[in-house]
Structure 1
Amino acid sequence: MNTQSTPTMNGLNVDQMTQTLDALRGDPTLAAFEFRATNRWVNGGENRSTIQSFYGAGQEDTSREEPFVFTNGEPPVLLGNNEGANPVEFLLHALAGCVTTTTVTHATARGIPIRSIATTLRGTIDLQGMLALDPDVQAGYQGITIDMEIDADCSDEEIEALLETARGHSPVCTTVCRPVPVKLNRVQRQQAAA
Structure 2
Amino acid sequence: MNTTSTQVNGFDIEAIENTVLALQSNPKIAEFKFKATNKWESGPRNKSQIRGFYGACQEDITRTLPFECGTDMPTVLNGTDTAPSPPEFLLHTLASCITTSMMLLASANGIEVDGVTIRVEGDLNLNGFLGLDACILKEYGQIKVHIDVEGNLSEAEKQTLLAFAKKSPIYNTILNPGAIVVSLHG
Name the TM-score class by shorter chain.
Answer: over 0.9
Structure 2 residues not aligned, in runs of 5+: none
Helix, strand or coil at the partner of 2:114: strand
Please state how far the C-alpha of 1:161 moved relative to its aligned partner.
Answer: 2.1
| Whole-Å separation in 2 of the counterparts to 1:152 and 1:63 | 36
Structure 1 residues not aligned, in runs of 5+: 189-194
Question: 1:89-138 deviations in whole A, cap 9, x for unaligned?
Answer: 00011011000000101101111111100111111001011111111211
State, as a whole percentage, how many aligned pairs show the same letter.
34
| Whole-Å separation in 1 of the counterparts to 2:66 and 2:8 | 29
- In structure 1, what is the equivalent of residue 28 of structure 2? 29
Superposed, 1:102-141 pairs within 5 Å as 102-141=101-140
- In structure 1, what is the equivalent of residue 79 of structure 2? 80
TM-score relative to the length of structure 2 = 0.96
| Whole-Å separation in 1 of the counterparts to 2:84 and 2:171 | 20
Query: How well do the aligned residues superpose, as a CA RMSD in angstroms?
Result: 1.3
Runs of 4+ in 1 over 6 A off after TM superposition: none
Please state how far the C-alpha of 1:3 moved relative to its aligned partner.
Answer: 7.1
Q: Which amino acid is 2:86 matched to?
A: P
Please state how far the C-alpha of 1:47 moved relative to its aligned partner.
Answer: 0.5
Q: Give the number of aligned pairs.
A: 186
From 169, 172, 181, the equivalent of 1:183 is 181
Please state how far the C-alpha of 1:149 moved relative to its aligned partner.
Answer: 0.7
Question: 1:25-49 deviations in whole A, cap 9, x for unaligned?
Answer: 1111111000000001111110101
Is residue 106–residue 164 contact of structure 2 (8 Å, CA) maintained in 1?
no
From 166, 169, 172, the equivalent of 1:171 is 169
Helix, strand or coil at the partner of 1:114: coil
Superposed, 1:9-28 pairs within 5 Å as 9-28=8-27
Helix, strand or coil at the partner of 1:119: strand
